[in-house]
Amino acid sequence: MKITQHGKYLVQLTRLVAFNSFLVREDDGFTVVDTNMGGSAAGIIKAAETLGAPIRRITLTHAHIDHVGSLDALSQLLPEVEVSISSRDARFMAGDMSLDPGEPQDKLRGGYQVCATTPSRLLKPGDFVGSLEVIASPGHTPGHIAFFDHRDGTLIAGDAFSTQAGISVTGTLRLLFPFPAMATWHKPTGIASAEALMALKPSRLAVGHGKIVENPVPAMGWATAEAKRRIYGSDHAPQKVY
C-alpha cells in the first residue's frame, strides 16, 4: 500500500499502481473513502496508525468490487465505525440488481459485490460525511457519488473520472486501462455528472484509478469534450440526456 499525502487533508492509498482509496483527515480522525479491492483492510488500518489518527468513518463512492472489496473485513475490524454509501448503490451491496422505472434501462456493468456489511447510514446529495459534501454523480453506476471537501476544494470523484492512462470521463475507453470504461452503466448520464463536478471548480481531483491532478478544471473540460465528441459527434450534448 503506497501512502501519498496531498495538501493538508487528503491521503492517497494506492495498490497495484492504479487502485486508490483515500483517508481524509478530520479533527476527530480519518474518513476512509472507498475500501479498495479485497485484502486491503490491514493496509488501510496500518496507514491510519502510521499517520497517527483513528478511523472514524468509512464511506463509498459506489458499489463496484474494487471499491467495496475490503469493506466487510474493514468493518469487522472496526465495528464501531459508521459505514455510508448512497441509498441507491446500497441496494446493489444488498444483492438487489434491479433498475428503477425512471432510470435508463442499460445493462449494469462491472463487478458488483454483495456485502455482509449493512451500511449504518444511507447518503443523499447535500449530506455531509465529516467535511465532505455528497455530490450526485450517476452514470458509472446509478447511485455513484463524489465527495467535495470545501476546506480546500478537493474533489474525490470515484470513477466519475479516471486519470489512469490519461484523464477521461467515465465510459471513455482508454486502451491502456480500459476497466472503468468497461464497467460504466450509462455514458450520457456520466457526461452530465462530469459537467456538474466541473462546475464545482475543484482545486484538486482525486479519482479511483490514476494519479491526483492539481488545478484540474481545464483537464476535466478536455475530457468532457472528448466524451461528448465520442458519443454525440460534437461538443454539444442534447438538452435531455435520456
- In the complex, what is the shortest distance from the CB of residue 180 to Zn ion, in angstroms, rounded to a whole number? 6
- With 0-12 / 13-18 / 19 or more C-beta atoms within 10 angstroms meaning exposed / middle / buried, residue 217 is middle
Q: Which is nearer to Zn ion, 30 or 185 (CB)?
A: 185
- In the complex, what is the shortest distance from the CB of residue 27 to Zn ion, in angstroms, rounded to a whole number? 30
- In the complex, what is the shortest distance from the CB of residue 37 to Zn ion, in angstroms, rounded to a whole number? 11
Question: Which residues are bridge partners to 128 per DSSP?
Answer: 133
89 binds Zn ion (CB under 5 A): no
Q: Which is nearer to Zn ion, 55 or 183 (CB)?
A: 183
Residues 94-153 that bind Zn ion (CB under 5 A): none
Q: How far apart are the C-alpha atoms of 196 and 112, rounded to whole Å?
A: 25
Residues 182-241 that bind Zn ion (CB under 5 A): 183
- Stretch of residues binding Zn ion (CB under 5 A), selected from 45-53, 57-65, 117-125, 148-156: 57-65
Q: Determine the residue with CB nearest Zn ion.
A: 64
E-strand spans in 77-223? 82-86, 121-123, 128-129, 132-136, 145-149, 154-156, 161-162, 168-169, 204-206, 213-214
Q: Pairing between strand 154-156 and 204-206? A: parallel
- In the complex, what is the shortest distance from the CB of residue 137 to Zn ion, in angstroms, rounded to a whole number? 12
64 binds Zn ion (CB under 5 A): yes
Q: Which is nearer to Zn ion, 7 or 166 (CB)?
A: 166
- In the complex, what is the shortest distance from the CB of residue 67 to Zn ion, in angstroms, rounded to a whole number? 6
Q: How far apart are the C-alpha atoms of 74 and 43, rounded to whole Å?
A: 10
Question: Which residues are bridge partners to 133 per DSSP?
Answer: 128, 148
Angle between helices 217-232 and 187-198 (to 10 degrees): 160
Question: Site for Zn ion (CB under 5 A): how many residues?
Answer: 3
Q: Binding string, 154-173, against Zn ion, x = CB under 5 A?
A: -----x--------------
Q: How far apart are the C-alpha atoms of 169 and 162, rounded to whole Å?
A: 6
Which residues contact Zn ion (rule: CB under 5 A)? 64, 159, 183
